[in-house]
Amino acid sequence: MKLNINNVPQDNILIFDIEYDQNVLIQLATLTLRKIESDVFQLTRSTNIYIDPNQSVSSFFIGYTNITNDYLRYNGTDLAGARSLAHEIVFDVGTNNTLLVSHGLDNDLEILYKNGIDWKVLPNKYDTYKKAKELLHRGSLLTLKDIAQNDGFFMFNEHNAYADAWGTLHAFCWLKENEERID
């Protein structure tokens, strides 16, 4: 998959989303894009991991995400495995030449940090929520679903980190395409 994304000086883009319950990381999804020529990026890696918290997740979390305790028990890795994969992903792209992108970046980084994953060290960050708020000059209709829809991506499985990472990619592409025009 190749995408034209204007005005990204970094050679790599790392888009991510998480799901968590009471500050415990439950799901981490990433999309890694690498610049192959000026303003053209290629998807080089996607990951979607579930983390078994070794404790029951709340009924609110299950209702919100449809991720159950049984699913996590049979399909989840332990937190050490998730940390190892997260460090491998950042090692693959490097820290200085990578743009880290998320919708609600500060919160997501804080949850990762509380779970032993320090992506705060990446110096180049882009929050699609904050950028949309700035560009669109509005206080509502800033959900990931709202912004991704502008790029023609209709989210049907919200609150699943992997689906939301794809939504974040679309929101990011739309925002980058419209930054100069809207400003």
pTM score, two decimals?
A: 0.91
The pLDDT tens digits for 33-81 are 999 999 999 999 999 999 999 999 999 999 999 999 999 999 999 999 9
Mean pLDDT of 124-142: 85
Mean pLDDT of 84-88: 94
Q: What is the pLDDT of residue 68?
A: 95
Burial of 122 (0-12, 13-18, 19+ CB in 10 A): buried
Mean pLDDT of 119-134: 93
CB 51 within 8 A of CB 71: no
Q: What is the pLDDT of residue 157?
A: 65
Find where tokens 């939301």 sit. Answer: 164
pLDDT at 168 over 70: yes
Q: What is the pLDDT of residue 32?
A: 97
Q: What is the pLDDT of residue 145?
A: 73
CB 81 within 8 A of CB 108: no
Q: What is the pLDDT of residue 6?
A: 87
pLDDT at 99 over 70: yes
Q: What is the pLDDT of residue 92?
A: 83
pLDDT at 150 over 80: no
Q: What is the pLDDT of residue 155?
A: 66
